[in-house]
A and B are shown apart, each in its own frame.
Chain A
Amino acid sequence: MTRIINHPILGKLEDRKAVPFTFDGKTYEAFENETIAAALLANGIRKLRVHEDSGTPRGFYCNIGHCMECRVTVNDHANVRACLTVVEKNMVIESGKQHPNIVKRMVEQQ
């Protein structure tokens, strides 16, 4: 995905400072005052986590903090909403992972 630079009514996007951050160990660039969800989408990343139990992929859904689907781990703080959190320089962001569920796996194998 890319950013919407020119807009017939809202005008041209002004130049902003680039801010480096990492997501699952890879380095990306956000712009200053950009949310994590917006910066990742601009870098082509939709999948922000998997369901803790089933492992199904999830991205942002409501984009305004209601649905909690976009929660990620930021600098070791778990469950941070990517849609409401602004990227800061050298932020370390991790996607939400599947939790081990030994009992369930055993039942599945039977």
Chain B
Amino acid sequence: MRDVIVIGAGPAGLAGAIASASFGLKVTVIDEFIKPGGRLIGQLHQEPSGEWWNGIKESERLHQEAKTLSVDIRCGVSVYNLEKDDDLWNVHTSIGTLTAPYVLVATGAAEYPIPLPGWTLPGVMSIGAAQVMTNVHRVEVGKKGIIIGANILAFAILNELQLAGIHVDRIVLPEKNPLSGKAGEPEEVMKSLLNAAHLAPSPLLRMGSRFMKNGSFRKIGMKFYPKNGVKVNGTPLLLRKAAIEIIGTEQVEGVRVADTDENGNIIPGSEKIYEADFVCIAGGLYPLAELVAVSGCPFQYIPELGGHVPHHSEMMETPLEGLFVAGNITGIESGKIAMAQGTTAGYAIAKHAGKDGAAIDKQLQEAVQNVRSVREQAAIQFNPEIDSGRRKMSELWESLYSKNTRENSQIKIG
């Protein structure tokens, strides 16, 4: 008899499996990808301390630890439905239906697309696709590329492409229209980049950040933004240029780009074609919640967390008995937060499963505290207003389910 099914073998899922299994629960982890690690296996960046965060090593470590605890990990398995009858959850997968009293959904995030003319051509890919091809499969995505969209994720992956020797020619914005939203507005883009200026890739961004946080300075800043851009590790970031079309017949051949004014409006007659054999679209991430949505769990739209997120407590419980969530499905943050949340969820499951005693309470409490402290130290904060988003969710949980929570678990956190 299986106690827990974890859906998603990324940092949250593996950490959750390890925590549950450490209390003697029998755990199965399912993942659609060919190997465990989720998006962690693509990650590679230098910490402010100078140390490298190597996602492949981290996921190998988690995988080993899970194996030592006899966690059953099944890759290449897709889950297409999740529902409960009586006391058991049914997880419907491409290899049949698996059942367990506890399910941890850790499906992570998906990327916002930015539709533009020519984006269906071979050679156009989401920025995350380029990351996986480069760091996981170790295949060059092309000889010369253009990134459309400027955000923290794009910069992180730009850096990874450069490390692998891939030439990224320039970063431009998408054309301003209802489909691109804020990603096409230079000032909005600048605002979101400045909030992450502590990891700013260029001295100009870093120095300017204090001034630019002020609205009127920012307007002036955008007005005089250098035409040739600001270099990000050698790649020009062009906030005053917009991609209006990706060109090619059988595959990408280039991008038609126009100059824009400080508000992102196209300056007529300024169009130019830049050659490229690959294009990355960087629209940012949103919580991939579809599986929890089909289970009937209620959701809340919290823009600070990246979109619709399932109602959940700080102990990663959802209002549905036996259903837990962790990682980016609860809000877009770093892999380290996902791990800390996964650990919390794993202990919370052990607690619900009747593992009593002082040990579980203490570990659960420490795990919740750890999520908070990792958040405070976070180097990559994808969404700068994350704290306010997290607060909204915990207030919502308090108001809707706090009675429930007290019944279900006796410990108080905080």
Contacts and interface: CB of A to CB of B under 8 A. Distances in A.
* Direct A–B contact present (CB less than 8 angstroms): yes
Interface of A: 1-5, 7-10, 13, 33-35, 37-38, 41-42, 46-48, 51, 56-67, 83-84, 86
Given A9-B54, A58-B122, 19 more contacts: A1-B141, A3-B139, A3-B140, A4-B139, A7-B163, A9-B44, A10-B44, A38-B137, A47-B251, A58-B120, A59-B123, A61-B124, A61-B125, A61-B129, A64-B39, A64-B132, A65-B78, A66-B110, A84-B33
Contacts, number: 104
B111 interface: yes
A38 B130 CA distance: 11
Contacts of A41: 133, 139-141
A62 B251 contact: no
Ranked nearest first, the 8 interchain pairs of A and B with the lowest CB-CB distance are A59-B122, A63-B129, A38-B137, A46-B122, A4-B138, A47-B122, A42-B139, A1-B140
Given A47-B250, A61-B129, A56 B54 contact: no
Contacts of B122: 46-48, 57-59
Contacts of A46: 122-123, 251
Contact of B164 (A4, A34, A57, A62): A4
B298 interface: no
Contacts of A10: 44, 54, 56, 135, 138
Given A59-B122, A64-B128, A86 B34 contact: yes
Contact of A7 (B133, B138, B142): B138
Given A10-B54, A41-B139, A59-B123, A4 B251 contact: no
Contact of B33 (A38, A42, A58, A64): A64
A108 B55 CA distance: 52
20 contacts: A1-B139, A1-B141, A3-B138, A3-B140, A7-B163, A8-B163, A9-B52, A10-B138, A38-B139, A46-B123, A46-B251, A47-B251, A57-B251, A62-B110, A62-B111, A63-B130, A63-B133, A84-B33, A84-B34, A86-B76
Contact of B34 (A4, A35, A51, A60): A35
B141 A62 contact: no
A38 B140 CA distance: 9
B117 interface: no
A63 B126 contact: yes
